Amino acid sequence: DGVTEVLAHRRESLRDKFVEIPCSEDYDSHKRFEGCTPRKCGRGVTDAVITREEAERIRRIAERGLSLGGSDGGASILDLHSGALSLGKHFVNLYRYFGDKIQDIFTEEDFALYRDVRQRIQQRIAQAFGISSASMYLTKPTFFSRINSTEAKTTHDEYWHPHVDKVTYGSFDYTSLLYLSDYTEDFGGGRFVFMDAGSNKTVEPRAGRVSFFTSGSENLHRVEKVHWGTRYAITISFTCNPDHGIGDPVL
């Protein structure tokens, strides 16, 4: 377990916290895009991009969507782009499965808020890493997660294993998380942990907090198991490769 250092406490409101770290070699095995592929690597946390009120509105989108399904285990996902929704031990396509009923669940305003939030996070990441936001593309998977303390039933429910996004997904260059609930208020456990040699750097979730980082092995990470309550977040990821870009979800 090593030494744990808290990078961002729930109770503090951080304008901009950024830690630069040396880049791993993961990016060398993929096509490089000048002006976008990370040459400066690191991780940042900000509470100044998305308001708590906006985070609550987004959490309600997640709650409505996930109320249509949910995993038998403790981790459920909802992907508005692909339509992937946890249902029991499997996934269904929300749009095919529920058809026109989707119009009763989500509104145009929901999707407009989602787009606006995604753009602001993209601009913040570009600013932190000194690149143009126009050179970044939204990539998949980009999804809501709802985690509670229910025992895992399938490997999809085992969210707590250490991993590297670039290794897992390939297309990821920059990863962000927008937290939609509060550590110690809404849930226990569930902190985000960067696993560095000799120490852990933790981020305590807080509604409206954005944590972002370069997706290579320099940012090996995991999420602690949630012990009680429910933890909501949304993972929004970006690639430098236009071939892996996706559009915003549309109703």
Rounded-to-integer distance, Cα 125 and Cα 87, Å:
33
CA distance 191 to 228: 12
Amino acid at 209: R
| Residue 157 phi, psi (nearest 5) | -80, -10
Catalytic residue among 43, 124, 191, 231: 231
> The tokens of 229 are what?
């309550």
Q: Catalytic residue at 231?
A: yes
β-strand pairing of 210-214 with 174-179:
antiparallel
- How many whole angstroms separate alpha carbon 216 and alpha carbon 236? 16
The answer to whether the bond into 141 is cis (omega within 30° of 0) is yes
User: Contact 102/110 with Cβ under 8 angstroms?
Assistant: no
**Catalytic residues, which ones?**
231
